[in-house]
Amino acid sequence: MELLTDVAFLSRVQFALVVFVHFVFVPLSIGIGLIMAINETRYYRSRNPKDEAATRFWVKIFTTTFAVGVATGITMEFSFGTNWADYSRFVGDIFGAPLAAEALLAFFLESVFLGIVIFGRKKVSPKFYLVSAWLVFFGSCLSALWILIANSWMQTPAGAELVADGSKAVITDFFAAAFNPSTLPRYTHTVLAALALGSFVAIAMSAWYMHKNKHEHFAQKTMKVGVVAAVIATGCLLVSAHSAAVVVAEEQPSKIAMMEGHYETGTLPLYAVGWVDEEAQETAAPIALPGFTSFLASGDFNKEYPGLNQIVAENDEIEHSDLPVNLVFQSYHLMVALFGVIVLVLILAAIAAFKKGSNLGSKKWVQWILILSPLAPFIAIQSGWSTAEFGRQPYVVYPSVSGPDGVSLLTNEAASQSVTAPELMITIALFAVVYLLLLVAWVRLIGKAVKEGPVLESEKAAAAGSDTAASAASFAVGSDASADEKKKEA
C-alpha cells in the first residue's frame, strides 16, 4: 500500500504505461514504412495493377499505425512538464535542441510527404510519389534518431556540465552531446529491430492470405520481400547488438552487472537462463559459461568487471534495494532467447518462400507459425527496452564512466513535487481507458483492411457499381410495391 502513496513510483508507472503503448506503434510504423516503400518501388517499375493494389494496402496499414502512434505519444510531452518537472529543469538545456529538431525536421518531413502518399497518387508524377514514399520512411527513421539522441544522453551523458548550484546540466558541446557514446549503437540497434518487426509483419500477412487461399500474387511477392528484408535486418542486428553491449559494459557497470546477475567483482559469465535471488545475492542457472560475457564485451575471457556489491559500496546514492536485478536479468535473457526464435522462424519462412518444389508454405502448422511470428520480434523489442530503462535505475540520468563529473540525476529526485498520488492514480486510470479505446480502434481498422485485402481498383469499382445497382433495384422494387398498395387502397 505504501507504493500507492509514492509519487515517484506512480509517476514511473504512468510514464511506463504511456511509453509502452506508444512503443507498440513506433517500431511497427518504421518497419511497415520500409515494406510500403519497397512495394511502391516494385509498382513504379512494373506498373502492374496487382502491385498497385499491394502498395495501396500497405499505405492503409502504415497510415493507420502512424496516426495511432502519434495520438499515443502526445501525452509523453505533457508528462515532462507535469509528472517530471524537476527532471525537465535538469535536462531542459540539453533536450531542447533534439526534441525541437524531431518536431520541426523529422516529424514535419514525415507528415508532409505522408499527405502526398495518402492523397496525391493521381495528382503528382509517379516518380515524385515514389520519392515521397521513401521520404516518409526516411522521416520516421530521422524522428527515431532525434528521440534516441535524447534518450541516449540520459544513458551516457556527454557534452555538458553541471551548473555551480548543481540544479541543472547545461550543454557545452552540441555534437558531443548528440553523438554521445551510446547514440549510434543504440540507434542502429533500435531501427534494425523495427525493420525486423516490419519484415515479420509482411511475412505474417502473406501467411494469412495463404491460409485463406486469397490474394495469391500478393502473398507470394510479399513473403519473398519480407524474408529478404528480415534476413538482412536480423544479420545486421547481431553486429549492432554487439556494439550496444560493448558500450554498456564500458559505460554502465551496474547495468551490465544486473544483466548477468553479477554481484562479486570478477569475470562475467554467460547464462542461457537463470534466476537471481536478490536476497541471497546469488544467480541460479543450469548452464553457466565462465568469462564468456567478458569475452563478448572485451575480447578477453579474463577481463574483470565490478560486481554490484562493489558498486553499491563505492556509491553513497544507491542501495541494493534500488537495483531491480532479477527484472533486468530476465528481460535481457528473454530478448536473447527470442532472437534465437526469430532465426529459427526465419529459416522456416525462407524455405517456404524460396525452395523450389517445397510445399512447406501450404502446410497449416507452418502458416500459423508465420502468422504469429511478429510476436517474437515485438516481445524482444519490449524486453530490450525494459533492459535499457530498468537497467539504469535508480538513475534517470546515469553517471556513466566517461560522463561529465556530477551530471547524474536519481529517479526519485526527478519527479514533480507538486503532483499528488490521488491525481496520478486518476490519470493512470484515464490513460488506461483512452489507450484501450485507441488499441481497439487500431485493431478494428487493421482488421477491416486485412479482411478487404489488396483489392484491385477495377474490382473496387465493379463492387461499388454492383452495390449501386442493387440499391437502385431495391429502391425500384420498393417504389413499385408502394404504387401497388396505393392502387389497392384506391
Higher pLDDT, 484 or 384: 384
Residue whose cell numbers read 545486421 = 236
pLDDT tens profile 201-215: 999 999 999 999 999
Q: Examine the pLDDT at 487 and tell me if it is beyond 70.
A: no
Q: Which of 134-143, 245-254, 338-347, 355-364 has the lowest mean pLDDT?
A: 355-364
pLDDT over 70 for what percent of the chain? 92
pLDDT band of 125, cuts 50, 70, 90: very high
For residue 461, what pLDDT is reported?
A: 57
Residue whose cell numbers read 513510483 = 9
Contacts of 328 (CB under 8 A, 6+ apart): 255, 258, 259, 386, 387, 390, 391
**Whole-model pTM?**
0.90
CA distance 50 to 459: 11
Q: Examine the pLDDT at 310 and tell me if it is beyond 80.
A: yes
pLDDT tens profile 421-450: 899 999 999 999 999 999 999 999 999 999
Q: Examine the pLDDT at 299 and tell me if it is beyond 90.
A: no
Q: Examine the pLDDT at 39 and tell me if it is beyond 90.
A: yes
According to the 3-state scheme, what is the secondary structure of the chain?
CHHHHCHHHHHHHHHHHHHHHHHHHHHHHHHHHHHHHHHHHHHHHHCCHHHHHHHHHHHHHHHHHHHHHHHHHHHHHHHHHCCCHHHHHHHHHHHHHHHHHHHHHHHHHHHHHHHHHHHCCCCCCHHHHHHHHHHHHHHHHHHHHHHHHHHHHHHCCCCEEECCCCCCEEECCHHHHHCCCCHHHHHHHHHHHHHHHHHHHHHHHHHHHHHHCCCHHHHHHHHHHHHHHHHHHHHHHHHHHHHHHHHHHHHCHHHHHHHCCCCCCEECCEECCCEEECCCCEEECCCEECCHHHHHHHCCCCCEECCHHHHHHHCCCCCHHHCCHHHHHHHHHHHHHHHHHHHHHHHHHHHHHHCCCCCHHHCHHHHHHHHHCCHHHHHHHHHHHHHHHHCCCCEEECCCCCCCCCCCEEHHHHCCCCCCHHHHHHHHHHHHHHHHHHHHHHHHHHHHHHHHCCCCHHHHHHHHHHHHHHHHHHHHHHHHHHHHHHHHHC
pLDDT band of 490, cuts 50, 70, 90: very low
pLDDT over 90 for what percent of the chain? 66
For residues 219-231, give the mean pLDDT: 94
For residue 114, what pLDDT is reported?
A: 92
Q: Which of 189-193, 279-283, 307-311, 458-462 has the lowest mean pLDDT?
A: 458-462
For residues 452-473, give the mean pLDDT: 63
